[in-house]
Amino acid sequence: MMTLPKTMRAVEITQPGKPEVLKIGTRPVPQPKAGEVLIRVAAAGVNRPDVMQRTGHYPVPPGASDIPGLELAGEIVATGEGVKEWRLGDTATALVQGGGYAEYCSAPAPQCLPIPKGMTPAEAASLPETFFSVWSNVFDRAGLKPGESLLVQGGSSGIGVAAIQMAKALGHTVFATAGSAEKCAACVKLGATRAINYRTEDFVAVLKEVTGGKGVNVILDMVGGEYVDRELKCLADDGRIAVIAFLGGAQATINLSEILRRRLTLSGSGLRPRSVEFKGAIAKKLREWIWPLVEAGKIKAIIHKTFPLEQAAKAHELMESGAHIGKIVLTV
């Protein structure tokens, strides 16, 4: 066994509020439970749920760490009872329920994946939260099938750049929305057939035009609000909308006759509270279908900027500004 310190540095939310409430504190090094591994964190991804947790709008699930951070990469330094697939010294990236903004973090073994060949820990840390979310919602829940098309709302976000690349690499036609010409250009570079500037264009009209009036088969929506009714008009018959966030509002008015007449499906899901078994099943699919594409260079980690752990507040400021294209990562 490796000799481990008793305490570690970790980012704490000292009270709900603005980014400056994030402070470096001292916490005990976690002990891995049965079925878990302990990872010495090299890097941790920053995600919108971290911001929501900091502001007091995303309660921590029972039993999860109150330290923010849902994804990380580093070296396995201890294993809990029953863990057979990982050994000390292995490098891994992991999806966790919390605790990533720290020097050490425990993770359920089924939610760990090997760092893809050729990737740095910072790049690997940017993958789990978005890749697990996209696979769960686009491919499992919405059932994107061969030959079908996808619209990604917020294509330049961390979720967006993952969804565009994953769907494109698997042979799908992808469309995306973004809020500037620069962000739209980034979406096209990543594989979108057409990127729509939602500030200057009507995405409903554009999609009707570029699909010959047919519409798209699946929409990945993180906006919600008034977008939902407009999205129904963008769908092809038997189309599906997967809602993963509601940055534009939690209330929507929709036309139920449109849903019945054209057999449309509207669903939503959150990943954080789901079981280890559920997330482990996604990890297996990612390893089978996506990791080979990552290692072949067909899907890349898109990192906008990295910050040292002690500058977590600056990382959150950037996240809230919306100026980034891709992921924001903390290095430890």
How far is Cα 252 from Cα 232, in angstroms, rounded to an integer?
12
Could you report the per-residue pLDDT of 106-141, keeping only the tens digit for each? 999 999 999 999 999 999 999 999 999 999 999 999
Could you report the per-residue pLDDT of 286-315, keeping only the tens digit for each? 999 999 999 999 999 999 999 999 999 999
> How many Cα atoms within 13 Å fall on the side-chain side of residue 285?
17
- pLDDT band for position 2 (cuts 50, 70, 90): confident
SS3 185: helix
Give the single-character DSSP code of 200: T
Is the pLDDT at 1 greater than 90? The verdict is: no
pLDDT cut 90: percent of the chain above it: 98
The owner of tokens 């971290």 is 50
At residue 106, the pLDDT reads 98
- What is the residue-wise DSSP string for 41-95? EEEEEE-HHHHHHHTT-SPPPTTS-SS--SEEEEEEEEE-TT--S--TT-EEEEE
Could you report the per-residue pLDDT of 56-113, keeping only the tens digit for each? 999 999 999 999 999 999 999 999 999 999 999 999 999 999 999 999 999 999 999 9
- Section 153-180 average pLDDT: 97
Q: Which of 1-5, 152-156, 207-211, 241-245 has the lowest mean pLDDT?
A: 1-5
Is the pLDDT at 48 greater than 80? The verdict is: yes
Could you report the per-residue pLDDT of 225-277, keeping only the tens digit for each? 999 999 999 999 999 999 999 989 999 999 999 999 999 999 999 899 899 99
Of 149, 154, 158, 152, nearest to 180 by C-alpha is 154
